[in-house]
Structure 1
C-alpha cells in the first residue's frame, strides 16, 4: 500500500527527510526502504523508499496519461516551464550541494558545487532550445518539411558518479521536446534525484516527471515495458548491453552513455610543466570516478621521466578525505562494490611488481572508502591497469617513442569515448587528434562541454549522443511531411 505524503500544491522540500517517490504529481511513501550510506564514514545517511513493480507501473501509467496534453502544449510554453524548473532548483542549490557530497562523496566546495551549478545552468539553457522545422523543398507545386515529434514516455536510468548532472542532462531535453519521463536513480545515490523530482512537482503538470528509486529489477521492468518508448541510460558497458537487449522487445529508441578508457597523449614538444595540474585533475577529478577521466596517460619518452617526477610531486599535495572538509581535494570511492574492484586492481599491480612512485596501498582500517592517489609508471601495454577502466584514483603513465605507435596504442581498446592531445605544434596535435577513434577529442584542453556540443561514444562506449541539436533529436521521431500545392 502507498499513501500520499502531501498534495502537490503544498509540497515543502525538506532535505533532511523523509524521502518519497514522485508519482503523478504526488510524493509517495513506501512500505519498505533501503539504507543510503555516506561513503566518507560508511554510516547510514538516510533511508530511501524502495519502489516496487506496482510503483513503477503507476509511474509509467501516470507519464502515459500526462503525455497527450504535455506533447500538445506549445513548445515555448514547455520551454518556459523547464526554465522555471531551473529557477526552482536554484532556490535549493545549497541543500542539493550538501546532500550530493553526503551521498556521493565528492568535495562540497569544488566538484559538488560545480556539478549542481552546471546542472541548473544546463536545465535553464536547454529550456531555450528548439528543434526547427527543416524545409527540404518549397516549389510552386510541392513542399517537403522535416519535423521532430516526441516519442512518448522516456525511461531514464542514471549512475552514481554524477547523479545530479547526468540526471538533469536527461530531464531537460526530454521534457522540452514534449516527452514525459520516469527516472530510476542508482540505489547508491538516490537522494538528490528524489529531491529534484519533488521540486519538479511544484513546476510541471502531474505525471510529466516521475522518480522511482529501488533495485535493479525496476530498471529491467522499464527496459522491457511496452509503454516506454525510449531508454536513456548512463552506466557501464556491460549493463548497457543488457539494456539494449531487453529494450529490443518493442524496438525502443535507446541512448547509451557507457564506459571509457580515455587516452591523453603528451607529445614531445608539449609545454609539459604547465599542463601537469590540468592532467592531474583530468585523471583524478571525482577520484577518477567518471567516464571521461584520462585513464591512460601517454608521454613521449624524451620527457617521460621528468614528467612523472613533476606529476608525482604535484599529486603528493592533494588531500584525500571527507568531502565536507574544505581542505579535501579528492573524496572517497562512492560505494563498497567499486571499492572492492579497486582493491582487486591494486592487488594485481602489486603482484606484478609494477613501478608505483606514489600510492599503491589502500588503508582498510579507515572508516570511509578512501583510496590513495596512485601512479603506476610505465606498466606493460597488456596489463590490467592499462586495458581496463579502473574508475578510481589510479593512473598509468606510459612512455612512447613515436606518433604512429601512440595512435595505435590509444586506439587499441574496445572503448572510444574521449581523448586528448597536447603539443605546442597545434597542427601536428590536431593531426593526431583526427586519428583517434573516439566520440570527443580535445587538443590542448580537456573536459569542456557545452549545451550545443554533442557528446557520445564510439565503439563500446555508447550509442547515440547527449546535448546539442543531435541530443535533442534523440528524444524525437523524424517525421516528413509532403504537401502538393
Structure 2
C-alpha cells in the first residue's frame, strides 16, 4: 500500500493542517491501496501563499521562457524514465486497464511536457508592431497563480494539459488532484523536485469539493483551470465571473460517431472500440452515440455488439483486459441507473444490461442499446461508463442534425469510404475536436476543448500556452 502523511507545499513535504485522510480503494478488489492526507482550507491557504510568493518574488517568472522550457525538458526526461511506474499507479488507483495506462495515461502527459518544452524554446515573448505614433511592443507575460483542479479519469493527462503550459508560461501552480486518484500526484511531486523546479512553483494538495471551492475562490489565485463535470464547471464559472478571474473549463461530452452507408464496418469497429470504450467508458471524448442509417441499422447494431463483446472484462492489471471496473461504487450505481432508465424508456439492450460481471469490484456489464432515439436520457446525458446507444437516422442531413442536437460539443467522428466527403461532414458538426475515419487523438500540437456546455477556452497547442499568458502593449516615442 502507498501511504503518504505529508503535502507538497513550497518545495517541501509538510504536515497537513488537519488529521483526516483519504483512503484510495482499488475498484477491482475494493481493498485499500493507498492513503494520503485530506487537504483542508488551511492547507489551500498555505499552498496559495507559497505559489503567490514564488510568483511575486521568486526567479521562475523572471526567467526567459526558453530557460523555463529547458527545465520543463529536464522534467520530461525524468518523467520518461518513470512512466511505467506512473502507469501502474494509475491502474491501481482508478482501474484503467494497464494497456490503456501504458498507451495513454502515462505517455500522453510525457508528450505534452516534450511539446511545451519545444514550443517554449522558440516562442516569441515580445514582438514589435508599427503603431499610429511609433513602434509598439506587444509583450506576453504569465497570468500569475493558477489553481489547477483535475478529475480522476485521466489524472496525469489532465494535469499536464494545465501544468506543462503554465510552467513554460512562467506561472506558479496549486494542483488539486481528485480524492479518488491522489497517488500519481505524489510521484509527480518527486519528479518536480528532481527536475530543479524552484520551491513554491508547484504545490500539490489532494482534497475534496469544499477545499477545492476554497482554492478556486481564493483571492490569491489569478486563473482557474478545471476539468470535470458541466455542473461543477457552471459553479466555477460563476465564482470566476464574480471575481473577474480568468478560467478555462474542459467539461462533459456526449459525442456522436456517424456511420455513413459507404463505411467499411469491420475497419470502423476496430477504431471505435477505443473511441467509444477507452478507459472503461470513463472519457469525456467517448463516442457513445453511434448514428446509423436505417438502411444499415441492424448491420451496425450487430457490428457494435460484436465489438463490445470482444472486449475482455476483468482485472485492470491483466494485459488481456479491455474493460475494467468503474472508479467507485457511486459510479457503478450511477451507470446502472442509466441502463435502467434506457430500458424504462423503451430502448433494448442487445448486449449487457443490469447483470454485473463480477460479485466483487465496481464492474458493470458493457451495454449496447438499440431502438433508441436521441431524446432519451441515455442519448442526452453523459453516462461515463461502457454504455453505447445506436440511433437511426434517415439521411446524411438528419445524421448531422442528430449529432448537433446535444447540449454538448466536445468531440465526434464520421466513418466513410470517401475521406473528402467526411471532411465536409466534419465541418458541419459543432464540436471542438473531430475525427474522419479515426478518433481525434488529442495531439499536443492542436487545440482541445468544446462548444456549448462542453466548456470554455482551449488547452494544448499554442492556444493552450496563450491561455496562461496576459498580453501587454507598450507604446513608446523615440
TM-score with structure 2 length normalisation?
Answer: 0.95
C-alpha contact 2:434 2:440 (8 A) present in aligned 1: no
Structure 1 position 232 matched with structure 2 position 225: yes
Structure 1 position 70 matched with structure 2 position 56: no
Instruction: Describe how 1:57-136 pairs up with structure 2 within 5 A.
Output: 57-68=45-56, 69-130=59-120, 131-133=123-125, 135=127
- Partner Cα separation in structure 1 for residue 136 and residue 445 of structure 2: 26
Q: Which residue of 1 aligns with 2:430?
A: 437
Q: Which residue of 1 aligns with 2:419?
A: 426
Question: Secondary structure of 2:173's match?
Answer: strand
Measured against aligned partners, the alpha-carbon deviations of 1:138-181 in whole angstroms (never above 9, x if no partner) come to 48972123221111100000001000111122111001000000
Deviation at 1:283, TM superposition (A): 0.6
Deviation at 1:314, TM superposition (A): 2.7
Question: CA-atom RMSD, angstroms?
Answer: 1.8
Q: Which residue of 2 aligns with 1:198?
A: 190
Deviation at 1:316, TM superposition (A): 1.6
C-alpha contact 1:83 1:125 (8 A) present in aligned 2: no
Measured against aligned partners, the alpha-carbon deviations of 1:424-455 in whole angstroms (never above 9, x if no partner) come to 22232222211111111211221322222011
- Partner Cα separation in structure 1 for residue 131 and residue 305 of structure 2: 66
- Aligned residue pairs: how many? 471
Distance 1:19 1:445, change over 3 A: farther
Uncovered stretches (5+) of structure 1, i.e. residues with no partner = 1-14
Question: Secondary structure of 2:464's match?
Answer: helix
Q: Which residue of 2 aligns with 1:22?
A: 8
Deviation at 1:280, TM superposition (A): 2.2
- Partner Cα separation in structure 1 for residue 245 and residue 132 of structure 2: 39
Q: Which residue of 1 aligns with 2:211?
A: 218
Q: Which residue of 1 aligns with 2:154?
A: 162
C-alpha contact 1:184 1:218 (8 A) present in aligned 2: no
Instruction: Describe how 1:341-380 pairs up with structure 2 within 5 A.
Output: 341-363=334-356, 366-380=359-373
Measured against aligned partners, the alpha-carbon deviations of 1:334-374 in whole angstroms (never above 9, x if no partner) come to 11221121121111123334221111123286211111211
Structure 1 position 39 matched with structure 2 position 39: no
Question: Secondary structure of 1:56's match?
Answer: helix
Question: Which is worse superposed, 252-261 or 164-173?
Answer: 164-173
Measured against aligned partners, the alpha-carbon deviations of 1:195-251 in whole angstroms (never above 9, x if no partner) come to 212321232111000000111111111111111000000000000000111123321
Question: Which is worse superposed, 254-263 or 210-219?
Answer: 210-219
Measured against aligned partners, the alpha-carbon deviations of 1:32-53 in whole angstroms (never above 9, x if no partner) come to 2121111111111111111121
Q: Which runs of 4+ in 1 moved over 6 A?
A: none
C-alpha contact 2:41 2:214 (8 A) present in aligned 1: yes
C-alpha contact 1:19 1:191 (8 A) present in aligned 2: no
- Partner Cα separation in structure 2 for residue 331 and residue 297 of structure 1: 22
Uncovered stretches (5+) of structure 2, i.e. residues with no partner = none
- Partner Cα separation in structure 2 for residue 112 and residue 20 of structure 1: 28
Question: Which is worse superposed, 210-219 or 266-275?
Answer: 266-275
Q: Which residue of 2 aligns with 1:4?
A: none
